Structure 1
Amino acid sequence: MTPSSTGTAGAQPAPAGFVISERSAHLRAETALFMRDHVLSLVSHDLRGPLNAIHSWAYVLERKLDANDPNSQRAITGIRSGVDQQVKLLETIVDATRAETKSLALAYAPFPLHPLLDETVEEVRTGFARARGVEIRLDSSFAAEQLNGDRERLAAALWLMLTFAVEASAPDKAVTLAAHVDTATWHASVAYEPNEAALNDAALPHVLEAFARKQAGEPREAKRIAWVFALCKRVAEAHGGSFEQSDTAEGGSTATLALRVPLSATAPK
């Protein structure tokens, strides 16, 4: 099964010889779904501020204009009508479209953490990292530690973190997944050396869509993540945890993706 036969719209076929597994193809599609909804959320949020400002200034203008001037009154009515139409579009189309991931249903059950790490690392290693010539290292010392949460959703978040790190790594580099638990929280972080050329080189195998990879390399506003990590952020927050994306440290060469989830996860109120 090749990426061109299972990928989402806009995905580019990988070079000949690279084969993506059915599970990875499914996770890539989920990544695109969450990214779409994340972008819609940003659009909804960022448009409401200017629309509210326009609506408020319309009232200011109304008090300044001649109430007996029909052209002025038509102009004010048109401004308000346009704002109302835009707000309605946000509510009925943008907000409704992202409802599926906005209220993320989780299947809570206790599960051991060590097999989750091993299986996810192996999925990315055999399905993608080897094709890119990137090594994946696992740094953990779990024994029988368990987490109460949605195993499949958390596996998807880990898969995406590792997959992106491989996408952003040059051949012959290494990606490290480090995991540990403290008294109440599971910590998982992926460290890699970002290489923009490797992230967007069409001659290399890729799993994630070109648009997602390109946007991930653009400057981000404070506290905002790259769109491609929307799945990680949503899954973490649905478990009462958090996801963080760090930029390369000044003077350094390592970037990190960090997932934190309570061991006894419950949906946030």
Structure 2
Amino acid sequence: MTDPSSDANVLLVDDLQENLVALEALIRQPGRRIFTARSGEEALSLMLEHAFALAILDVQMPSMNGFELAELMRGTERTRAIPIVFVSAAGRELNYAFRGYESGAVDFLYKPLDPIAVRSKVSVFVELFRQRQELQAAKSDLQRAVSMRDDFMSMIAHELRNPLNSVYLQAQLRRRMLSSPNAPDSQRMLSMVERDERQIRSMVRLLDDMLDVSRARTGRLAMVPAPFDLAQSTREVVEAIREQATNAGIAITLAAPESLPLVGDEFRIEQVITNLLTNALRYGRGKPVAVAVGLREQEPEAFVSVRDQGMGVAPEDQERIFEQFERAEGTSQVPGLGLGLYIARQIAQAHQGRLEVRSTPGEGAEFVLSLPLPAQQPA
């Protein structure tokens, strides 16, 4: 069945109903929507409401003839590009065709109409209309891609500039300290080196995210499945991030069994959990974050849940935030490229799992990673 949204619209204008019925029967076929009008005024009203691939106008109409209608069409931006084919029962000696072409027509037909010629001409204009629509869609996609590229480059520059500036300033400070008569304090120097390492790790993570996006899009996101303990992996991620959370005044709680064996790429699963925890610290408004690991009773799968008490995610954003370079409304001030959740979902899907969000705006968000159990393990 033809999708009505992809139909090409054709407008027939004639003051005689029997002529409209005959012409419509001649050109109707799947993929076309035929509109009819019995006056120039009615035709203009339709053209302001719909996009038309072609308008077939009768020349001799009362009130407003076809030539007058064509001149009005050419004077309005909305209707200017609609191809016009004139139809007339008058003899060729009246030279209507010349006037029709002067009015902007692309063709002129005399009655009685040749059915084969009419069908052929309408098909040509309908096909041209569809090609223009495809070109317009391609142009729109290209413009969006260029805009995304520009936004991406701007975000990359912003995200890299801050840590690079910090490392550069720290290097200058150490240079001055080392060139001073007094030996630098070793503890202070160690603290500065640790800050440098954090900044460098931040830049490395950013570059890794960019590479992972490229790999995911080309189906080359590497996975090395092996037995591992999901509970222990989650504990290690939480402990690795706990210092960062403590420095920000955020408490992290973890509820997990002693052991939960799975098969998968442990490094990639830890990458997902790290991303979810990092986001919870960023968007959680400084409130406690709860992490839970467990088994579902209804299905043979394990889960990792990360719940914050932040601003939450609006319903219309809950799928969009998993796309590339997309972020929830109201979070533009928080650093990040909008790649982490996209990569995390790709990793979940590569494990035949899911990554979902449950949220009510203003009441925080819960991100849940679900992973299938090994075939030999009972649910």
Aligned pairs for 1:80-95 within 5 A? none
Q: Which residue of 2 aligns with 1:167?
A: 282
Question: Unaligned stretches of 5+ in structure 2?
Answer: 1-155, 167-191, 313-323, 331-337
Q: How far off its partner does 1:24 sit?
A: 6.0
Q: Which residue of 2 aligns with 1:258?
A: 368
- The 1-side partners of 2:279 and 2:267 are apart by 18
Q: In structure 2, do the counterparts of structure 1 residues 28 and 185 end up closer, same or farther at CA, with 3 Å as the change threshold?
A: farther
- The 2-side partners of 1:23 and 1:185 are apart by 33
Q: How far off its partner does 1:125 sit?
A: 1.6
Note if contact 1:34-1:230 (Cα within 8 Å) is conserved in structure 2.
no
Note if contact 1:31-1:230 (Cα within 8 Å) is conserved in structure 2.
no
- The 2-side partners of 1:174 and 1:166 are apart by 9
Q: How far off its partner does 1:22 sit?
A: 6.5
Note if contact 1:216-1:228 (Cα within 8 Å) is conserved in structure 2.
no
Q: How far off its partner does 1:256 sit?
A: 1.1
Q: How far off its partner does 1:234 sit?
A: 0.6
Q: Which residue of 2 aligns with 1:153?
A: 268
- The 2-side partners of 1:23 and 1:116 are apart by 20
Aligned pairs for 1:21-170 within 5 A? 26-34=204-212, 98-99=217-218, 102-126=219-243, 128-140=244-256, 142-170=257-285
- Per the normalisation by structure 2, the TM-score is 0.39
Q: How far off its partner does 1:23 sit?
A: 5.9
Q: Does 1:229 align with 2:229?
A: no
- 1:175 corresponds to which letter in structure 2? V
- 2:363 corresponds to which letter in structure 1? S
- The 1-side partners of 2:372 and 2:228 are apart by 13
Of the candidates 13, 23, 36, which is equivalent to residue 162 of structure 2? 13
Q: Kindly, what percent of the aligned residue pairs are identical? A: 25
RMSD: 3.3
Of the candidates 353, 364, 372, which is equivalent to residue 241 of structure 1? 353
Question: Unaligned stretches of 5+ in structure 1?
Answer: 1-7, 39-97, 197-210, 220-225
- Per the normalisation by structure 1, the TM-score is 0.54
Note if contact 1:186-1:260 (Cα within 8 Å) is conserved in structure 2.
yes
Q: Which residue of 2 aligns with 1:3?
A: none
- 2:245 corresponds to which letter in structure 1? A
- The 1-side partners of 2:263 and 2:200 are apart by 27
- The 1-side partners of 2:229 and 2:302 are apart by 12
Q: In structure 2, do the counterparts of structure 1 residues 151 and 131 end up closer, same or farther at CA, with 3 Å as the change threshold?
A: same
Aligned residues: 171
Q: Which residue of 2 aligns with 1:85?
A: none
- 1:249 corresponds to which letter in structure 2? T
Note if contact 1:32-1:228 (Cα within 8 Å) is conserved in structure 2.
no
* Secondary structure, counterpart of 1:193 in structure 2: coil
- 2:162 corresponds to which letter in structure 1? P
Aligned pairs for 1:171-182 within 5 A? 171=286, 173-182=287-296
Q: Which residue of 1 aligns with 2:327?
A: 216
Of the candidates 170, 175, 185, which is equivalent to residue 301 of structure 2? 185
For CA contacts below 8 A with separation 6 or more, give which structure has more relative contact order: 1
Deviates more, 1:113-122 or 1:179-188: 179-188
- 1:236 corresponds to which letter in structure 2? A
Note if contact 1:35-1:229 (Cα within 8 Å) is conserved in structure 2.
no
Q: In structure 2, do the counterparts of structure 1 residues 227 and 218 end up closer, same or farther at CA, with 3 Å as the change threshold?
A: farther
Q: How far off its partner does 1:37 sit?
A: 6.9
- 1:31 corresponds to which letter in structure 2? D
